[in-house]
Structure 1
Amino acid sequence: MATYVGFLRAINLGATRKFPKDAIAAAVEAVGFSGVETYINTGNVRFETPLRSRARIEAALEDAFLADRGFEVPTIVFTPAELREIAADAEKFADGHEGRHYVSLLKKTPTEAQIAAIHERSSAEEVARVGGRAVHLLLGSNYHEAKLTNAVVERLLGVATNRNLTVIRALAEKWC
């Protein structure tokens, strides 16, 4: 059995997209995955499965979540090693940055052209750094008015979900 960490996109937003972590765990177990754990109510789940194809794992989870909730829940899966690398990249990419640090987790590996497009959106106040299937967004003190957001990442690179660096580090420490 291999271990994976899944990140659910766009849940617990408003009244119609509720998906409590206990319900997430039950849906993951219903697919036949084991060793299921969740962390806070933002859609982070660890599990074990005999499946090895990330695409097949994501599809199985997305089908289960749709059946359980009645709405689509894009799901992005990483191995523990990939999650550790994302957390380690944070130190390298931050390079003394003292503002807010968010990580957009990507469903697909971006092309060189896509990476160049997101890097072109960087400015003195807002910087994007890509490592594998993760985009590190380094934002200034006025982050609520940032132009470099997960929505921009999705428009340029495809399906993504966003977590702050504190959550990424906590998950890497807890589950990797």
Structure 2
Amino acid sequence: MSQYISILRGINVSGKRKILMKDLKQSLEKIGLTDVRTYIQSGNIVFKSVNYNANQLEVLLCNSIKETFGHDVPVIVLSDKEWRKMIECNPFIKEDINHLHITLLQSVPEKKSIEQLMQVTAIQEDKIEVIGKSVYMLIKRPYHYTKLTNRVFERCLKTKASTRNWKTALKINELLDK
């Protein structure tokens, strides 16, 4: 049985696309996922599955959420190995944890897309590094001031994106294999 992490984007924000985590958990168990655990209300899910790979799970979860809750929600799924590697590869790990964020991407962006992103963000005081399906961010000001949003990443990198602060990423890491 394989363990996965699913990150949903844009649920329970300002009262929009409301999904209670207990209801989400039940809906995922109905489609055959096991050991489903959630962390906070923003759509962080750890679960096990024997029948599907990460790409299949993204489609399955997206369809299930739309059918059950009526919301078209971007879903990113990583295996536990991918998640752990993402945690280990943070180039800014020695910085203050309060300034660290991670944007997870649905697919690995092309080199030319990364180059475009780096040009767009070159004038920012924030620092980023793209490694695989992750954009590591060092944001010195409060996050809501940055111009480095999911929309910027999606436009430049041509893939779905969802951002979490580093504390949340570490908390999700703790949920693995518990």
Structure 1 residue 107 corresponds to structure 2 residue 99: no
Q: How does 1:19-168 map to 2 (within 5 A)?
A: 19-90=19-90, 93-94=91-92, 96-98=94-96, 100-120=99-119, 121-123=121-123, 125-141=125-141, 143-157=143-157, 158-168=159-169
Alpha-carbon contact 1:8-1:76 (below 8 Å) kept: yes
Q: Give the unaligned 5+ runs of structure 1.
A: none
Q: Give the length in aligned residue pairs.
A: 174
Alpha-carbon contact 1:103-1:163 (below 8 Å) kept: yes
Distance (whole Å) between structure 1 residues aligned to residue 89 and residue 145 of structure 2? 25
Distance (whole Å) between structure 2 residues aligned to residue 155 and residue 24 of structure 1? 29
| Matching residue's letter, 1:79 | S
Residue 173 of structure 1 and its aligned partner are, at CA, apart by: 2.5
Residue 36 of structure 1 and its aligned partner are, at CA, apart by: 0.8
| Matching residue's letter, 1:115 | I
Summarize the Cα distance change of 1:116–1:109 in structure 2 as closer, same or farther, 3 Å threshold: same
Q: Give the unaligned 5+ runs of structure 2.
A: none
Distance (whole Å) between structure 1 residues aligned to residue 83 and residue 68 of structure 2? 27
Distance (whole Å) between structure 2 residues aligned to residue 77 and residue 167 of structure 1? 16
* RMSD between superposed Cα atoms in Å: 1.8
Residue 81 of structure 1 and its aligned partner are, at CA, apart by: 1.1
Summarize the Cα distance change of 1:87–1:67 in structure 2 as closer, same or farther, 3 Å threshold: same
Secondary structure in 1 aligned to 2:41? helix
| Matching residue's letter, 1:76 | I
Distance (whole Å) between structure 1 residues aligned to residue 10 and residue 42 of structure 2? 9
Residue 4 of structure 1 and its aligned partner are, at CA, apart by: 0.7
Percent of matched pairs sharing the same residue: 28
Distance (whole Å) between structure 2 residues aligned to residue 172 and residue 29 of structure 1? 21
Summarize the Cα distance change of 1:122–1:85 in structure 2 as closer, same or farther, 3 Å threshold: farther
